[in-house]
A and B are shown apart, each in its own frame.
Chain A
Amino acid sequence: MGSTSSTLAKIPNAEDLMQETGFTPAHLVRLYDRFKVLDKDKKGFLTPQDFVAIKELAMNPICDRIIGAFFTSGGETLDFPSFVRILAHFRPIDKNRPKEPTSPDPINSRSNKLKFAFQLYDQDKDGKISRHELLQVLRAMLEKQVTEEQLESIADRTIQEADLDRDDAISFEEFRKSLEKVNIDHKMSIRFLR
């Protein structure tokens, strides 16, 4: 008589979603409930305004970029499967999963988590973080707290360290190399308590 199974039935394509994202039924139901809570006007999809209404997100310095990661290609509506697919990036890495060379990387692999983070910087999606894009992120995170010269020198320094092929931009490979020692699983994962 678990209410989980009855709510699961309300989610369209639940089985496929679970297969694709790796969420358990219980977690999928929680995300569905959350989706409905965020969708205050009961439209059936989310808009950027619904995200901005989350207080803790609105005070996050890179709030716009995080929201932008959900609404790719400029669309203004987010349905539940897309919502879950993005959040699947933040599932903890499955240590038990067998490594098959032919199957595609799961959404929450280390590589895909890094790609998600890379995307936050690389707004024009050309595969490189240019100096200009880096400055934009720094400006978002620091705004009025530092001067423009300080921002520029920080940007220059960062590119200098990470840019190995000296093309004045950080490619995904350089990004990955620069962060190879970081515990991505811990820092870019969200664990459900139940």
Chain B
Amino acid sequence: TTQLSQGYRSFKPTELHCLRVWLSVVLGLIVLPAMFGVSLGFTDLYVKALVKTLEWATLRIQRGQKEEDAVPAHLPNGIIEKDDGSMEEEIGELRRSHPKSLAGGDFTLCDAFYFCKKGIESIVEDQVTQRFTSEELASWNLLTRTNNNFHYISVRVTIIWGLGVFIRYCILLPLRVTLAVLGLSWLVIGTTLVGLLPHSNVKTWISDLIHVTCYRICARALSARIRYHNKENHPKKGGICVANHTSPIDIVILANDGCYAMVGQIHGGLMGVIQRSMVRSCPHVWFERSEMKDRHAVAKRLKDHVADKTKQPILIFPEGTCINNTSVMMFKKGSFDIGATIYPVAIKYDPQFGDAFWNSGKYNMVSYLLRMMTSWAIVCNVWYLPPMSLQDGEDAVHFANRVKSAIARQGGLVDLFWDGGLKREKVKESYKEEQQKMYSSMIVGQD
């Protein structure tokens, strides 16, 4: 028997007891209130404490930065200063200092300076690539990953930082992982069970409840504090909800406040399991990879879903890729061609507490989630904008741009015409021709 007991490692009663306490704390204080949509106010308190700590840390760092140039109070979008003038203004300025008086139009040798400087500027920093790296902060938020330019650290700040590391990795991370696992298991098991029920109002109601509670638990797993604005514009059934895309977490953020039908490609592995079980309890729109290429098939399925007024509103991210939450890039026109009412939603994360952007080139899904769960918190604002529809004589592209501008304006994001997919493709010749056209009007004037 001694040999047997040496082979086994029996759990001591104290360890089991600890586990039991841990689980009951998690269930009682976090999961249960989450399911009922009740907030015990822990996250709010936590965020307030965080804000105070970060302010203190910022002041101490700034005190040590006396010799260096003052950090600009308003964080701009970029690392180099760019003149905002149009081509005409800039070249006009260049020519003003030229001895020869020019009566509008004509060429001067210094004109090339404008193009040269613009070219070099874009080599150092361009609008497209910039949007695929994380936004930089004006002051450090005590996470090593955001420490770019802050080399002065006093002893006290270092201690707080060390404490922060301990709290984030040893206390918060295990808690969050537990919650995430609980939330996802709940979703899979719950939806599978509900799928067994016959179609009825009760089934829909239970299915919605299961979905929402799962997302609420996941939101707790990220220490997310979400503020919803203009809830009266919440997307309704038979409509399409469009939002700017920053990360996969956007889904959790939005679904905390209502049920949506998701659209996407069927994946394999864990993701596929979740997708397949979700669709058992309520209709989502999942595509096989081959189906995605066929635009008509995609449009038809979306149209059918939207036409059925009992189904939840579809959630679509028309940018097609994750952007870093400082700008909104071109919306693909597919979803705007369906003829349904569009409910635009703007999501803006506060980067001070944690960077939510998923740089898919740099991090895979697992490392990304780990980063999320070791940030301080995810704080974001969600604005529901009034519904928009296609106007007479408007085409899908114009409509898409209109919606994009509305979202950009509400979220305080830069409205860019670039296509997020461009990070993989070439630029069209027409862009260069436009530049040439603008310049030529300055040379030869209007003939």
- A residues touching B (Cβ–Cβ < 8 Å)? 1-5, 26, 30-31, 34, 37-38, 51, 53-63, 66, 87, 90, 116-117, 120-121, 137-138, 141-146, 150, 154, 157-158, 161-162, 170, 175, 178-179, 181-183, 187-188, 190-194
Contact = CB atoms under 8 A, between A and B. Distances in A.
B243 to A, nearest CB: 25
Contacts of B116: 62, 66, 116-117, 120, 188
B153 A190 contact: no
Given A1-B151, A142-B443, 4 more contacts: A2-B149, A37-B129, A66-B119, A150-B444
Given A146-B443, A192-B79, A193-B81, A141 B111 contact: yes
Contacts of B69: 194
B99 interface: yes
Contacts of B233: none
B110 A194 contact: no
Task: Report which residue of B71, B79, B114 has the largest number of chain A beta carbons within 10 angstroms of its beta carbon.
Answer: B79
Given A1-B147, A141-B439, A190-B80, A60 B108 contact: no
B443 A154 contact: yes
B80 A146 contact: no
B98 A4 contact: no
A194 B71 contact: yes
A57 B112 contact: no
Given A1-B144, A61-B435, A192-B80, A187 B109 contact: no
Interface stretch (B46-54, B217-225, B424-432): B424-432
Nearest to B122: A56
B37 interface: no
Given A1-B147, A66-B116, A31 B124 contact: yes
- The contact size tier of chain B is 35 or more
B123 interface: yes
Contacts of B94: 182, 187
Interface string B109-138: 111111111111111111111000100000
Contact of A190 (B117, B149, B431): B117
A179 B109 contact: yes
A4 B93 CA distance: 37
Contacts of B112: 62, 117, 120-121, 137, 141
Contacts of A146: 440, 443-444
Interface in B292-327: none
B393 interface: no
Contacts of A1: 144, 147, 151, 153, 158, 161
B436 A141 contact: yes
B297 to A, nearest CB: 31
A158 B437 contact: no
- 8 smallest CB-CB distances across A and B, nearest first, come from A2-B151, A145-B440, A56-B122, A59-B431, A66-B119, A181-B97, A58-B427, A191-B81
B72 interface: yes
A157 B106 CA distance: 9
Contact of A55 (B81, B128, B153, B161): B128
B129 A145 contact: no
Contacts of A183: 97
Given A117-B116, A154-B443, A191-B81, A175 B128 contact: no
Contacts of A179: 98, 109-110
A117 B113 contact: yes
Contact of A34 (B124, B418, B437): B124
B78 interface: yes
B202 to A, nearest CB: 53
B10 interface: no
Nearest to A181: B97
5 contacts: A2-B153, A54-B126, A60-B435, A161-B100, A193-B72
B126 A3 contact: no
Interface in B59-116: 69, 71-72, 76, 78-81, 93-94, 97-100, 106-116
A192 B117 CA distance: 14
A42 B444 CA distance: 45
B151 A54 contact: no
B123 A193 contact: no
A31 B80 CA distance: 11
A143 B65 CA distance: 51
Given A145-B440, A150-B444, A194-B79, A60 B97 contact: no
A4 B111 CA distance: 37
B74 to A, nearest CB: 11
B80 A54 contact: no
B301 to A, nearest CB: 33
B24 to A, nearest CB: 39
Interface in B381-401: none
Please indicate which of the listed interface residues B116, B128, B444 has the most CB atoms of chain A within 10 Å of its own CB. B116
